[in-house]
Chain A
Amino acid sequence: MSFAQKSKSATVIRSSVAWLIALVMFFPILFLTVTAFKTELQAIAVPSVWFFEPTLENFTEVQERSDYLHYAWNSVLTSVMSTLLGLLIAIPAAFSFAFTPTRRTKDILMWMLSTKMMPAVGALVPIYVLSQKTGLLDTRFALIIIFTMMNLPIMVWMLYSAFKDIPHEIFEAARMDGAGLWEEFRHVLLPLGMGGIASTGLLCLVLAWNEAFWVLNLTSSQAGTLASLVASYSSPEGLFWAKLSAVSVLAIAPIVVFGWFSQKQLVQGLTFGAVK
């Protein structure tokens, strides 16, 4: 066997294995999506049905029974607002860490990360009591604040590792030309750090959209997001798979599709400077 032939057959084997793994990993999502278009009887058929006449009945029923759009709007609002608020607080901090580091910079960064390691459940009772006393229980405002704080350490860290790679000389040059802090920010940091800012924002959007702990514990009908809508379909209706699938597809489709399109952008900052 010549070298070329050998490497060709190796590629065939390698790509088949890769495809197999990818399909296995994706299979649950595929199955969920297909089930959403079945009738309840088809959904629990053994062996699983793969060819059938698709129905939209489940989707209309989910919207009628539990007002999907209300929860979806809550999800959009809380994840977008918390991401924007987080960026607003984190960008200046990361800028300061990256370009005027002091002896304490590393320690402060580590401390910020350590707050993220404290389990949320440790803060659950106090936050619950505080929200109750201030009348913020089951409000979107409370969720926005909590999502922001929850993601802030990761945001600062990601932005810091992105900004650090911007050459200092560019800022010095800008300063020579008489640029003030705002000009530095607007004309140097923003364009050069855009990649890092975008990927930080994208990750936090995903994390906020998928957040379940605080949503399950602090909200009910008013401020509930899609995570809680899905959970409400869990227990007694356990065997109504078609409806459960429909509500799940409705809950994950926006963010999964969003993730597909932004994955290249997302990855850049996710490596936290681990990749040069």
Chain B
Amino acid sequence: MSAEHAHSDRSAEHLERAFRELLAEKGIISDAAVSERLEFMYTRTPALGARVVARAWFDPGFKERLLEDGSAAVTELGIDIRGLRLVVVENTAVLHNLVVCTLCSCYPRMLLGLPPDWYKSVEYRARAVREPRAVLAEFGLSLPGDVTVRVHDSTADMRYLVLPARPTGTDALGEAQCAELVSRDAMIGVALAGSPSNVL
């Protein structure tokens, strides 16, 4: 990190503190409310999304409901999604889905936590809609021409979660073990669900 950037971080940190102190003094936002919200944010990790995916792999009825109405189905699992409007899109042998937000960084944070830096980068946002196959190849995913690529630009109020295909060779695994095969990147669509050799 350059000295300049370090300086900018420091001044941003001071500005954040000044702003937050003023909001607290004015009774707008208490320190306790900030702490409580931070605690909630730390509970949001890709493990939640992975749980949803694994359930869909094991329960065809759930999968059907998940694809029909993502928010309702996820709520069934007791996951607090606070108003998230979720669309789940399914990868198959002939279709691969990829999620981007070209205008900012919309992301299913309630199920995956905060987006990675690359998801927020100018490069990803500019290129994912125009040359998705090249972007996927950079992530190590070279798809053959007979697999259709479908990009989802989350421009407005819906958030997207990719339901990756269940890897082969996982018949002997339980639902929780299968969830461990589901990475954050697989649920954004820049990777496939992992092979069992990665976890066993």
Is B one of A's binding partners? Answer: no
A positions within 8 Å CB-CB of B: none
